[in-house]
Chains A and B, each alone.
Chain A
Amino acid sequence: MTAQLVIFLVLAAIAVAGAVSVILQREPIHSAISLIAVMIALAGLFLLLGSEFIAAVQIIVYAGAIMVLFVFVIMLLNAGTEERTNMSRMARYAGVPLAIFFLIELAYQIGAATLSMTPQPTGEGVTHGLSMLLFQNFVFPFELTSILILIAILGALVLAQRSEGVPAKRGQE
């Protein structure tokens, strides 16, 4: 058992436990914190796979920016405990085992089908190669994403602003 495998198993256990916790927690804020744990574990896995830049972006953008946005909205809306669903008997006795079976089967089949793939040795300067690729071959999509971000900012502003002079809100009466 190599050190790499041990690190992988620890990070994978954290990721899966966090993902299960996202589903099982009743409070949205607990789900959000579990998801942050998943993202940090995934960043560690990215490091293990030799992509340092993506690992850093994962921490900064996902765990740092997107999840802060989530936590901010949860606190803004004062989201309380999720109501318990009265899960039907069929969902409990057929749906949950089927879902778990499907999960294990999917993981097993994908793992077995790609068992022959081995990691290629990565050369020096992955980040350098990444930036060359990004700003030469993929420069047009890169510029398009900046337009996408601009549209997203405008959309979020237009959606979330309090509209004035509009007739009383529906669904509140």
Chain B
Amino acid sequence: MPISYYLALSAVLFGLGVIGFVFKRNIITIFMSIELMLNAVNLAFIAFARALGQLQGQIFVFFVIVVAAAEAAVGLAIVIVIARNRQSLNVERINLLKL
């Protein structure tokens, strides 16, 4: 079966991640949308690695996963601080910088 099926699926998942990022109001769910986008990109990397017969794509996925883990740890710490200070997880209430 052609690689393009995987790439089309990756595009759909990435687009759904973008839609979630734009439409959701809960800051934790927005973070989950980012993770969804990273996963979609990982699928594209693996599909291309298979199509080109090389392993570098898989190495890149490895690094993406590591960076995603670090990002999740720091991001969720920020979420905890925001929730403690604002008593809300709604991004529309987090508007101190808004004019």
Query: Judging by beta carbons under 8 Å apart, are A145 and B80 in contact?
Result: no
A residues engaging B (CB < 8 A)? 2, 4-5, 8, 12, 15-16, 19-20, 22-23, 28, 31-32, 35, 38-39, 42, 45-46, 49-51, 53-54, 57-58, 61-62, 65-66, 69-70, 73-74, 76-77, 79, 82-83, 85, 99, 102-103, 106-108, 110-122, 126, 129-130, 133-134, 138, 141, 145, 148-149, 151-153, 155-157, 159-160, 169-172
Residues in A with CB closer than 8 Å to B96 are 171
Question: What are 9 A-B residue pairs whose CB atoms fall within 8 Å in the complex?
Answer: A16-B12, A16-B16, A51-B58, A54-B42, A103-B12, A115-B4, A126-B55, A153-B73, A160-B81
Query: Judging by beta carbons under 8 Å apart, are B1 and A145 in contact?
Result: no
* Interface SS of B by simple majority: helix
* Closest-CB distance, B7 to chain A (whole angstroms): 5
Q: In the docked arrangement, what's the CA distance between A110 and B66, Å?
A: 27
A70-B31, A77-B80 known; A148-B62 Cβ under 8 A: no
Give B41-66 as 1s and 0s: 1 = Cβ < 8 Å from A's Cβ atoms: 01100110111110110110111011
Query: Judging by beta carbons under 8 Å apart, are B24 and A82 in contact?
Result: yes
Q: In the docked arrangement, what's the CA distance between A157 and B81, Å?
A: 11
B residues engaging A (CB < 8 A)? 1-13, 15-17, 19-20, 23-26, 28-29, 31-33, 35-36, 39, 42-43, 46-47, 49-53, 55-56, 58-59, 61-63, 65-74, 76-81, 83-87, 89-90, 96
Query: Judging by beta carbons under 8 Å apart, are A79 and B28 in contact?
Result: yes
Residues in B with CB closer than 8 Å to A53 are 58
